[in-house]
Amino acid sequence: MGVGGLGSPASTYLAAAGVGRLVLADPQVPEPSNLNRQVLHWTEDVGARRKVDSAAMKLTALNPGTEVLAKAVTVTRENIADVFDGCDIIMDCLDSIPARMVLNEHALRTGTPVVHAAVEGWHGQVTVMMPGTPCLACIFPRVPARAAVIPIIGATAGTFGCLQAGEAIKLITGIGQPLTSKMLIGDLSSQFWDVVEIGRAKECPACSAHSGR
């Protein structure tokens, strides 16, 4: 969900790893300011095609064995079940908390694992949400005022998108320990990295409805 700064590296490494089917959902067209981090979109794609089509072209060229479904739609409460029908994992490669809440509700309703990442400037975070673990509404209890421009160093988005792909490969293969109930946080400017335990928010309006507590 989102084929930008996180979705570009995440989908590239998943296609390269041989994932059989990728569903790309993003309504946008690449803009010049995207090119520092949205590495699946090139100068020739700016204003010329949707991000999902730009990404599908390159991912299919990289691995013709990966089926890539390009869905140039804004994902909403009404269409999310349709858009991600049959998906085993959803990658949160978004930059909007309201959109994340739509994804969160769907994941809680269907029990679909979500690999979440978020980046800004030099820093970012990754976690994996599964049934019973903290949900995205536990992590983002409020919707902060949205800045007009969110500065992102491209390498930050690239780093965290790769970490997301790694988490998805762990879930698919059953190898390693996924980052559930833990959050990896990192800042490339100081190279401060840590894994912190995270718990479910008391009376979280989203996941308490699905857990009976």
**Which range in 15-23, 110-118, 137-145, 153-161 contacts Zn ion by CB under 5 A?**
137-145
Nearest distance from residue 169's CB to Zn ion, in Å? 25
**Which range in 12-20, 146-154, 181-189, 196-204 contacts Zn ion by CB under 5 A?**
196-204
Per-residue DSSP letter, 180: B
**Which range in 10-18, 44-52, 116-124, 202-210 contacts Zn ion by CB under 5 A?**
202-210
Q: Which long-range contacts (CB under 8 A, 24 or more apart) does 144-150 make?
A: 144/97, 146/96, 150/95, 150/120
- DSSP E strand stretches across the chain: 21-25, 67-71, 90-92, 114-120, 123-129, 182-187, 192-197
Q: Can you tell me the distance from the alpha carbon of 200 to that of 136, in angstroms, rounded to the nearest whole number?
A: 10
Is there binding between residue 138 and Zn ion (CB under 5 A)? yes
Is there binding between residue 108 and Zn ion (CB under 5 A)? no
118, β-bridge pairs? 125
Nearest distance from residue 100's CB to Zn ion, in Å? 12
Is there binding between residue 207 and Zn ion (CB under 5 A)? yes
Nearest residue (CB) to Zn ion, 138 versus 152: 138
Of 57, 73, 75, whose CA–CA distance to 15 is shortest? 57
Residue numbers of the site for Zn ion (CB under 5 A)?
135, 137-138, 204, 206-207
